Amino acid sequence: MNSKLDFIFNRRSIRKFTAKAVSKKNITELLEAAMAAPSACAKDPWRFIVVRNRGNLQHIVELLPNGKFLADAPVGIIVCGDISAAHAGSESYMLQDCSAAIENILLAARALGLGTCWLGVHPRTERIAGIAKFFGLPDNIVPISAIAVGHPDKMPEKHTRFMADNVHWEKW
Ligand SMILES: Cc1cc2nc3c(=O)[nH]c(=O)nc-3n(C[C@H](O)[C@H](O)[C@H](O)COP(=O)(O)O)c2cc1C
């Protein structure tokens, strides 16, 4: 692993956070990184809801069976897509654009000494409906993922899941 890429290899899913708050400056920096992601025809269909209220976080985790630890995270970021803004009105482009923004948040967080975990919402219809209802989302706004953000309780070892068998050179 090339150490110049450590900012990638050091990103691991963090599911336990210290009680230390995440500054508004850091949150804004994460969102600046998100909105620097590539986007089909630069339509930027991503929308973000920043959640710090403990009661709201507790409500959200009732909808996320594999994300209970978000209730104890200092910040949750709900990443949504605006289907009316997506290139060609395409759900696929919207999801790809938002996924690129999410990964930028995860990598930026690691560079700032923060930890994150990506929590799946889309395509689970019950999670989409529950989050849309709780936040009162307009019909064109689709919740895609939640991200838990905080100061990591401990930083895991860097890694890659590189497998040469997954790579095909020139032809399959
Ligand atoms: C679309 C998506 C949904 C995910 N949903 C969850 C989730 O609900 N709960 C969770 O703990 N981790 C979730 N993860 C994180 C993965 O479990 C994690 O990335 C994977 O195990 C690899 O570990 P690493 O992130 O430390 O490299 C999700 C990741 C992706 C990309």
pLDDT tens digits for range 25-34? 999 999 999 9
The pLDDT tens digits for 65-98 are 999 999 999 999 999 999 999 999 999 999 999 9
CATH architecture of 10-153: 3-Layer(aba) Sandwich (3.40)
Q: Look-up: residue for tokens 């905080």?
A: 150
In the chain, what is the straight-line distance between the N-terminal and C-terminal CA atoms, in Å?
25
Distance 170 CA to ligand 1 centre (A): 30
Measured CA to CA, the distance from residue 10 to residue 62 in angstroms comes to: 30
Domains of the chain by residue range: 10-153
Q: Whose CA is nearest to atom 3 of ligand 1?
A: 120
Atom of ligand 1 nearest to the CA of 64: 8
